[in-house]
Amino acid sequence: MTAIVLVGGMGTRLQSIVSDVPKAMALIDNKPFLEYLLKFLSGYGVTCAILSVGYKGEIIEDYFGDSFLGMSLDYSKETTPLGTGGAIKLALEKCIDNTILALNGDSIFNIDIRRLFEFHLKNNADITLSLKEMFNVWRSGIIKLNDNRVIEMREKAKAEHAYINSGTYILKRDVFSDFSLPERFSFEEFLTDNVGNLNISGLPFDANFIDIGIPEDYEKAQTLIPEWVKL
């Protein structure tokens, strides 16, 4: 299995804590967050990770090199910010497999990746989203399902109770081939705009989720992530 990991973020909301490295390199118990994420992926059979780097990407490349725990590493390099969609589209050019795992490099959703992969293939989906049931949602993409099919998405919405988009996806390598897209675009907006044009599936998981993007959650991650992923 090949994974695209989006690690180009500056971590603007973490500047008071992490100011000199990419967000994915923020330290969790004295180890970069990305080290935990790659260890998590290796445990589910990911054999190749394409790291989509941008801001200070050389720090990531210097630290990890071309392999980690037997997993080969390659780098898709943004010369200008491409947004999440543009970054995935560029990284897909390095992929050989027809079915790809893609995920944000600043969060961990502690799910069974193999189950998500198998669900995607069973439903012959173009894209499959891993979903988390949440209460008091205020900064996530909200998903509405009909059976396994995603029928509505709302980005950065608020709700008392909803499924949220966790930022961990399975997708077809040619998912963008029928679309005329700008170089820079948001993958989340692409999904929202094309719910009716693509077969987008959603699979809810009852699993731990944390995003280190804001200081409060970054502090929680210091104890939670080492419990979930043993380095």
Task: List the chain domain ranges.
Answer: 2-228
Segments in 93-186 forming alpha helices (H): 113-122
Angle 9-2-111 from CA coordinates, rounded to 5°: 75
Range with lowest mean pLDDT among 15-24, 75-84, 107-116, 213-222:
15-24
Residue reference for tokens 């980005």: 155
- Tens-place pLDDT, residues 10-41: 656 666 667 678 889 999 999 999 999 999 99
Question: How far apart (Å, rounded) are the C-alpha atoms in residues 56 and 103?
Answer: 19
CA-closest candidate to residue 105, choices 210, 211, 221, 24: 24
pLDDT in tens, 118-146: 999 999 999 999 999 888 776 666 888 99
Between 13-17, 108-112, 114-118, 167-171, the lowest mean confidence (pLDDT) is in 13-17
pLDDT at 160: 78
Please state, in angstroms and rounded to a whole number, the distance separating the CA atoms of residues 63 and 189. Answer: 32
CA 14/CA 12 separation, integer angstroms? 5
For domain 2-228, the CATH superfamily is: Spore Coat Polysaccharide Biosynthesis Protein SpsA; Chain A (3.90.550.10)
**Cα-based distances in Å from 130 to 1, 112, 184:** 17, 10, 24
Q: Where does the pLDDT of residue 215 fall: very low under 50, low under 70, confident under 90, or very high at 90 and above?
A: confident
Portion of the chain with pLDDT greater than 70, in percent: 94
Surface-to-core class of residue 108, CB atoms within 10 Å of its CB (0-12 exposed, 13-18 middle, 19+ buried): buried
Which amino acid type is present at position 49?
Answer: A
Give the pLDDT band of residue 231 (cuts 50, 70, 90). Answer: confident
Please report how the helices 215-228 and 33-42 are oriented relative to each other, as an axis angle in degrees rounded to 10.
Answer: 40
How far is Cα of residue 27 from the mean position of the Cα atoms in its chain?
A: 19
